[in-house]
Structures are given as C-alpha cells and as structure tokens.
Amino acid sequence: MSVSHAVWNGFDARGELRDSVYHRAGATLDNGAALPLLIVNISPSGLMARSTEPLAPGATLAIALPVVGRVRAEVRWALGGRVGCQLERSIPSSRYYEMLAALTR
C-alpha cells in the first residue's frame, strides 16, 4: 500500500503541518451512504480520520466541517481503519483558523 507523502529521517514531506483535533464528523460517499468519521488531524488541504467502514484510495467523500460546511475530499491512503484525505479545495486561512477553533472546543 502506498502512502501519499514521504517521510525521511522523521521529516514529513507532506508540505503542510497538521493540527491535532478530535472531532466526530459526518461524511457521505458518492453513492449517498452516510459514514461517521473521527477526524484526528487536519490542515487547510487535507486530513486524517478514523473510519469503522473500509475505504479505498480514490474514494471521494463529502465531509461536514464546522464554519466551512461540506467539503469534498479524496481518500489518498487507507491503513488499519485510518484514512488520509486530500481536500478538493484548500480552506482559506481566515476560515481555516475559525474552523479549527470550533473543532478544538
């Protein structure tokens, strides 16, 4: 299984730092099926979440987030109930920090 980012000697080459959160979110698959997620970290352009349902790389989701509403994301990797997703559009920094504050309350 491939991972969408590289790690060299402890350096994460993902390009963006992630903020740790613990937020239960609702998501919807393209087929309309509802899926609960536990978002564990997030950045303006991606997130990692835990899912009880198996998801494959390439799957697309609509994820409900506070402040910004529903965002579309593509699963880039999946491993042991965890998924890494890339957002279709980056969240602008002004909205991102407002959303982050809501996620960490």
The burial class, CB within 10 Å (0-12 / 13-18 / 19+), for 67 is middle
pLDDT in tens, 32-72: 999 999 999 999 999 999 999 999 999 999 999 999 999 99
pLDDT band at 27 (very low <50, low <70, confident <90, very high): very high
The answer on pLDDT for 90 being more than 90 is: yes
In this prediction, residue 7 carries a pLDDT of 42
Query: What is the structure's pLDDT at 15?
Result: 64
pTM of the complete model:
0.83
Residue 95 sits at the vertex; the CA angle it makes with 91 and 101, to the nearest 5 degrees, is 110
